[in-house]
Each structure stands twice: as structure tokens, then as C-alpha cells.
Amino acid sequence: MVHISLLEGHVSPSEQQITELAAVTAERWYIAPGVKRIEIRQNGVVGTLFVPPGPGPFPAVLDLWGMGGGLIEYRSSLLASRGYVSFSLAYFGHKDLPSPPNCINVGDSYFKAS
């Protein structure tokens, strides 16, 4: 749930009274009902596959996102919610990857394994 407010004037931390002119609460869904989330941990490949509901066929996307490392899934889940099979691939900074945390795993052998 995200609460969005429109406040009057300039807002600073030192102000005591702030007038709220309008507000709305929005619910953000990162994965639509029926989307399958499948964790992949095989042959040194680390990622998450998101498959939309229905019989397919579906277009596919390989999602390499984020220079902060780890496994970022929200974009792939949103793509699957719109009808794309999406594979979010971890390529550095993830505990299940074989290389040191600060080493980028994007060599040919890694992509051939995925």
C-alpha cells in the first residue's frame, strides 16, 4: 500500500503544521494472480523464472537488472503480469553464485548454462 499526499506549500522537517490538500492510497501489485514464480538454482545459474497464466506461447525476456548485485525480481514479475515469460538472472553479489561477491559473472559459460 502506498499513501500519496499533496501538501500545501514547501515542506521542511522543521515545520510543525502541514496542510494536506488531497490524498489517495494506491495498492501496487508486483505479481498478478496466476503468475508462476520458479526459483532456478542449477548448474551454477541463479535466477527466478516468472511465467504468465494461460497456455501461451509467450514472448520471453532475460532480465539483467541492477548494478547493486543480488537478484532483483520486481521488474520480471511485472513483465510476467503483462504476458511475458521473464527470467531474472543474478550475475554478481548473490550468496549462491560461485564467484566472490564483487565479481561479475557474465562470461560466455554462465549465459550458455542459463
Tell me the C-alpha distance between 103 and 52, whole Å: 32
Tell me the C-alpha distance between 14 and 31, whole Å: 39
Going by DSSP bridges, is the β-strand pair 85-89/60-63 parallel, antiparallel, or unpaired? parallel
Domain parsing of the chain, residue ranges: 30-113
pTM equals: 0.70
Q: What is the pLDDT of residues 83-109, one digit of tens each?
A: 999 999 988 888 887 766 666 656 666
Number of helical H runs and strand E runs in the chain = 2, 6
Q: How far is CA 87 from CA 10, 17, 41, 78, 93, in A?
A: 43, 47, 12, 12, 17
| Structural element, H or E, at residue 113 | helix 108-113
Q: What is the pLDDT of residues 29-84, one digit of tens each?
A: 889 999 999 999 988 788 999 999 999 899 999 998 777 778 889 999 999 999 99
User: Using CA of residue 25, residue 29, residue 32, residue 33, what is the dihedral sign?
Assistant: negative
